[in-house]
Amino acid sequence: MNGTHAMLSHFPVGFWALATLMILVGSFMTGRLADISRAALLPVLVLSLLGGLAATVIGLIVWPMEANLASPLTRNHILMAFWSLGIYSMITVLVWKAGDAAFEGNRRWALVILALTGGLMFSAAGTLGGHLAGSTTAFSQVLGLMGWEVYTTFYSPIWVAAIMAIIGIALGALGIMSQKKEG
């Protein structure tokens, strides 16, 4: 079953990477490619969530929870996987509810910021999963430069929490300003 989790994990990661690219193309480009990216985004996001849920369930079934919680590396892997799933769930709901309007005006910035943040989260989750499988990557060194030692750290550095708070406040302000303009 260990191999099943590793195999299934590649589906959401691939779809999330594709969705991030589609959001960037749909937000910053014009023409047919941008139109296709916006139109095809929702099915890609739905498939990514189904893959993410399957990988998560299999991962939780394969390894005992006591073992998972005993290792900072595994706890971080699970945490980043849940953050990724949560962020791309938010993007899916935004695109589902707003449709093409999600790419208009300031709303597109919410998609772009969430997609880039989600990209960092699934990159970290994948890197940590690679460590658990015995295959380290150079991205681990990038995480180390950001103050995160993958084998011991189980927290978000203060600067990460501050940036998350700033982003949350900024996105909330953008949402309020957008509603005032419409109303």
Percent with pLDDT over 90 in the chain = 27
Q: Choose among 89, 99, 104, 114: nearest CA to 41.
A: 99
pLDDT, the chain, mean: 84
- pLDDT of res. 42: 95
- pLDDT of res. 76: 82
In single-letter form, the type of residue at position 89 comes to S
Is there a contact between 150 and 140 (Cβ–Cβ < 8 Å)?
A: yes
DSSP code string of 33-100: HHHHHHHHHHHHHHHHHHHHHHHHHHHHHHS-HHHHHH-HHHHHHHHHHHHHHHHHHHHHHHHHHHGG
Q: In which residue ranges of the chain is pLDDT below 70?
A: 1-2, 153-158, 182-183
- pLDDT of res. 170: 87
Q: Indicate the domain borders of the chain.
A: 2-182
- pLDDT of res. 2: 64
Q: Is 138 exposed, middle or buried (0-12, 13-18, 19+ CB in 10 A)?
A: exposed
- pLDDT of res. 154: 62
- The CA distance from 174 to 127, in Å, is 33
